[in-house]
Structure 1
Amino acid sequence: MFTVPNILSFIRLALVPVFLVLVIMGYDIPALIVLVVSSITDFLDGVLARRLDQVSRLGQLLDPAADRLFIFATLIGLAVRGIVPWWLVTVIVGRDVLLLVLGITLANFGYGPLPVHHLGKIATFCLFYALPILMIGQAFPAVAFVSAPIGWAFALWGAFLYWWAGVIYIIETLRVVKIPRVA
């Protein structure tokens, strides 16, 4: 449980509320620093888990949980400040609620969660770039004319891919639950 990668994931989880408070209060540069530290620990926990042969089920749960929480915290913080519209928050959170419902459905049929689809990873990657790029424009207004269009391109593409992956998960869940279980 207390492997280096898991400790890094716990640190990322602990940084989520710090980050959210900084964003909401308008401390964009410190918030960006926390986001950079979080991104570095995200990268390191994956690399170290593989290199040190410390891949664990806990780590496989903590890493995506921290990713999702950072995305939610960033979206909510930026929406509270009026930087991103609430409909974007609804689109992103709505897809994750859908995945939660699919997970419960699979569990009710005796299955575990579906494997992560590459499209979902790409969507998350886009959102991970979109939100910090939008924040850079807030922290450094002189570059907003460049960062805003790039950030929005990543955000819209990420939201689209997020739902495209969601549709794939729906189809896969329907396929799996139709398979007769062998007693």
Structure 2
Amino acid sequence: MVERVKTLLIGQFGEQVIVAEERSGLQPSLVIDKELLQDVCLFLRDGEETYFDFLSCISAVDDGVEAGTFTVVYHLASIPYKHQLTLKVVVQNDRQLNNLPVVPSVTGVWRTADWHEREAYDLMGVFFDGHPDLRRILLPDDWEGYPLRKDYKEAETYHGITIK
């Protein structure tokens, strides 16, 4: 299925749509240009051959301080066609808390993205541009930092309560 989707995407958007391919592991994936993410997702959802009608998960991955990148992973499924696809977007970032990595929101494509994007924002600090209500979902609104980042420094206290 990945090869057919790759061919369809290149035919629709050109060679620049696919930044890389990952063939190792249990789930091969296509790394796509983040600027084309929303258009690619709409195409994959509405395409007669693809019909990826279900976004099962969005995950954010900290690729490490040395790499200077974050990867956002999208797990798509077509319920009627019974096939799956993994898309990835890689974002360069300087890791400063006042300069979050930015990825376009896909809440306009799949409603389930709303909660998934909020979780990735809350725990990893990925900003989803165009999200209708991007705010913390698991941590208190005044929590500082993003606890799933590899360089996260846990606070000693929170409102006078010892954490460690």
Length-normalised TM-score, structure 2: 0.30
Greater share of residues in strand:
2
TM-score (norm 1): 0.28
Structure (1 or 2) with the greater helix fraction:
1
